[in-house]
Amino acid sequence: CAQTTTIPPKVTPWDWNWDGRHPQSSVVQATGDNSDGQLKRNTCSRHLIFIRHGQYHYAESDEECRLTQLGREQLDLTGLRLKHLKFPYSIVHYSTMTRAVESTEEVLKHLPGVKAIPSDLLREGAPYPLEPPLPYYRPTAEELKRDGDRIETAFKSFVHRPDCGQTRDTYEIFICHANSFAVGNKRKSLPAAGIGTSKSTPVVSILSLTSLRRLPFAGALLVSGTKTHSA
């Protein structure tokens, strides 16, 4: 009888210059020369801390999608946990949607003096059709294209390795939405891609990026007391 041959799926090799900041390309770009054959790599990292907003009341308009009391308690505890970690946070980037703004307010109560900057790039959106689909959210093809382009721009703007001149570790906080940082974790096949992307709980996902020849670290920071129920 005839034998069938199984063709293995094509494996795409890792793109070491996924963010345009691979040490070799960065050195050549900065100096125009790499004749000595040595690559100057940073030993420091950018630590990106992604936080999903707290539980909120679902409504038709963004202005009415406000945090529940539980949602405020969740982000208050998150801010307290961040404070206790005592990292030298340099900035908080946050979505301009109401539930993210209110979540940021709760976190900043525990981080006085940390600069906070709103960004429309971090607003919620669906870069691809949802599976399984949600009965109350069915984006059109035009909306998927628009949101996908925006989230791609956000990824390129925020998720990258340190610049050549960076001399110490930095810690940046992002307060946004499930789809926003799910893309940040899953893009370029980053490890632990599924951690911290649940839409049912306000979770914290930490992504550490370095110029050393190793994959980025991605993990979840557990915050006590963030148990929730559907809203």
Residue 109 located in a structural domain: yes
| pLDDT tens digits along 128-143 | 887 788 787 788 999 9
Q: Which helix (H) or strand (E) holds 199?
A: none
56 in Cβ contact with 66 (< 8 Å) = yes
**Comparing C-alpha atoms, which of 157, 170, 164 is closest to residue 48?**
170
Residue 17 located in a structural domain: no
CB-based contacts of 65, cutoff 8 Å, min separation 6: 56, 57, 58, 59, 97, 98, 99
Residue 148 located in a structural domain: yes
Kindly report the CA angle at 97 between 94 and 103, in degrees rounded to 5? Answer: 55
Q: Which residue has the tokens 């494996």?
A: 11
CATH value at residue 175: 3.40.50.1240
The mean per-residue pLDDT over the stretch 178-188 comes to 61
196 in Cβ contact with 203 (< 8 Å) = yes
Percent of the chain with pLDDT over 90: 43
| pLDDT tens digits along 151-177 | 889 988 998 888 888 889 999 999 999
E strands, 69-227, in order = 89-95, 115-119, 170-176, 204-210, 217-221
* Res 62: pLDDT: 94
Residue 25 located in a structural domain: no
| Global pTM value | 0.77
Q: Is 65 left (phi over 0), alpha (psi -120 to 50) or beta?
A: beta
What residue numbers bound the domain in which 153 lies? Answer: 44-221
Residue 28 located in a structural domain: no
* Ranges 123-127, 176-180, 223-227, most confident: 123-127
